Amino acid sequence: MTKGNYSHFFSFCSVFLVLFLNETGAAEAGNDFGVYIVYMGAAGVSNGSLRDDHVQLMNTVLRRRENALVHTYKHGFSGFAARISEEEARSIAQKPGVVSVFPDPLLQLHTTRSWDFLKYQTSVVIDSTPNSESETSSLDQSDTIIGILDTGIWPESESFSDKDIVGSSLPSGWKGTCMTADDFSSSNCNKKLIGARFYNETGSNSPRDRLGHGTHVASTAAGTTIASASYYGLADGTAKGGSPGSRIAVYRVCSSFGCRGSTILSGFDDAIKDGVDVLSLSLGTSSISRLDLQSDPIAIGAFHAVEHGIIVVCSAGNDGPVAESVVNIAPWILTVAASTIDRDFPSNLVLGGNKVIKGDGINFSQLQKSPVYPLIYAKNAKKSGAKDVEARNCEPGSLDKDLIKGKIVVCNNDDENSGYSKDDKLYAVKDLGAIGIALTDDKTLLVANTYGDFPATTISSKDAEVVLSYINSTSDPVATILPTVSVTKYTPAPDVAYFSARGPSYHTRNILKPDVSAPGVDILASWIGNDTSGAPKGKEASLFNIISGTSMACPHVSGIVATVKSQNRTWSPSAIKSAIMTTATQTNNLKAPITTDSGAMATPYDYGAGEVTTSGPLRPGLVYETTTIDYLNYLCYSGLDISAIGTIAQTIPDGFACPKDSSADYISNINYPSIAVSNFNGKESKNVSRTVTNVAGDGETVYTVSVDAPSGVNVSVVPDKLQFTKNELKLSYQVIFSSSGKPLKEDHVFGSITWTNGKYKVRSPFVISNK
């Protein structure tokens, strides 16, 4: 990972340590011991024998070493985390009842306008809007509980006021607690913030958020309505979460150093016991870690949560736009990519002669609006002995202070091997006495970094050519950088953000990931109340902040999930996931196909089924229910034997056995809302089956199918009509993919299958891969 790799989507990087995945995870400096997770599968299976093995193993560890035990898991699944040696870990892995033993990994933390934008997009492209005003108004009145595993919460934020919660009691199924600390009392919890837990390994014995990330996420998902919200006057409007009536339970599992896998598993274990309905995790591994199913704490915890009827929503990761960078790829997880909204934060560069160059970034520049300040291209200020590429990229130590002082500096950001972030370059020129910086970077242009009082902006490479031509045309080039303003109704939107992790999944090409996209760029939401790092001079800490990442996209979907759950209490996690995926849109606010930040047409590897909508999932018409058998088969097809699966799953139906032919190709047949087929060589057809359930409540209805097929592939659906005679009826169909006689244009081609009865459209994207 390069230095400063995450500065572009965490605006608080200056006070937030860069997070690295600890590949070994276990070893501590100065000794041979480290923390290992001992995973023993489902809690309480095998007539209690697993629980007995659990206790016996823990007692053995404790007898060997005082304070060895770090965590114990006993509610949703069984196991513990302990500080042991590598040799002890290998020995424990051979004990009865142990599924796996693996080093404790360190995972990464991966709104006024955004909800209005989503609702507008919904009205543009979705026909199935709520039936009546009463249905619309009831959406915010929910006893659904959203569990947030993150950095904690700032309870004094108005987003967590319970003024709008109807009734005086807590949800009947709630069994959680509000843990107290020196800086967090029981009165910090209320009818809105009903639970708060912390874990000692996070470095602070309190649920209080000291970083801002957890507060931002929680308010995006379920914050109450707040009028006149803004970030020092920017992005002003009414802020609210996606499900303002939902309750919030916070599990502080992260610190400034990241999020320990063992602590995340404790959060899952407690949340299952506490009775949450939705779990939102804006965190995950690095894309380079490629953890398998039996050593990924999120995949393990999420499996057991889903078994208990809890839907788990996770961010897709921030390592895009590289292929195979998506994380949280298990099929029981709802994986969310990030996209832009129709808001921009221009901070323009004005050249001599009042030529305006569009720039982006959040700064509160105090420079004059007239272009009177000397302007220099960084390459022309090269320090003796420095390389041209270092100087033009404003790398620390490459520039001559005498040539920089008092000037606005134009820097490139085109050296991928430099290891320096945008912030590193800004501080380098600022420390040399520069009064402003214009950074050339097409990739990060639409993601607004926050620079406080320092005049800084990002410009496109095309506009940079105009700037350099101006500099070279005069002996006295001058410019100014204007303070940022907010612009709405920006087009096109949404775009898939450049940092958003991309498919295909590294684990299998037969499940399409990510699942959907949601707003994750320049999102305004609540913040901790003591952070003045980006404040203009003389201003107090803002109660809101504008940041970007798939971390911000995830809670948008969590809020929608909570709303759907509140209206459909009996729906399974997979039914809710299906409703969200099949009603997603692939159209932007110009009524054209959604693109990526580079302008290319987005594919399901970029955004899954598409951008989420707000009312569509409430009335999806049909849903794909991914059953326990589907997940068990997935584990079989992934190479696990029935013995290992038996210790993972809470219950296994009588007579279940792994199919004799457990090829990974059969993963395509689990009943997922999207379809992915690999190893398509054109010589033989590929058959995929799916089952849909009628949830519209319309009784008798007929759905007909339409197919959008890519060049080189023939797609037929049998039958091509589904006739439902009652609600909740399940009907199946087959999709046959065969060669049209023409070779595939690319290694991966995309299309879709849509069922409609004239009232509802139920769309499933598909990808065909020749690998």
Dig out the tokens for 479 from the structure. 């410019």
Q: Is 226 helix (H, G, I), strand (E, B) or coil?
A: strand
Q: Rounded to the nearest 5°, which phi and psi values hold at 38?
A: -105, 105
Among 317, 300, 312, 319, which residue's Cα sits nearest to residue 104? 300
Cα maximum dimension of the chain: 85
In a 13 Å sphere around the CA of 685, the CA atoms on its Cβ side amount to 12
Please, where are the H alpha helices in 572-687? Answer: 573-582, 604-607, 628-637, 642-648
Burial of 23 (0-12, 13-18, 19+ CB in 10 A): exposed
- For the annotated catalytic residues, the residue numbers are 150, 213, 551
Q: Which residue has the tokens 């029935």?
A: 642
b vs e for 99-119, b when ≥16 Cβ sit within 10 Å of the residue's Cβ? bbbbbbbbbbbbbbbbbbbbe
Distances (CA, A) of 320 to 286, 306, 317, 356, 558: 11, 28, 8, 31, 22
Closest CA to 194 of 158, 170, 216, 166: 170
Neighbouring C-alpha atoms within 13 Å toward the C-beta of 149? 37
Which of 264, 256, 142 is closest to 197 using CA atoms?
264
* Distance of alpha carbon 606 from alpha carbon 499, whole angstroms: 11
- Which tokens go with 399? 């520039």
**Which sign, positive or negative, has the C-alpha torsion 631, 632, 634, 635?**
positive
**Cβ-contact 187, 285 below 8 angstroms:** no
Local structure of residue 134 (DSSP, 8 states): H
What's at 613, amino acid-wise? T
Compute the distance between CA of residue 178 and CA of residue 182 in angstroms, rounded to an integer. Answer: 13
Q: Pull the structure tokens for residue 144.
A: 């659904």
Q: Determine the Cα–Cα distance for residues 266 and 260; give it in Å rounded to an integer.
A: 10
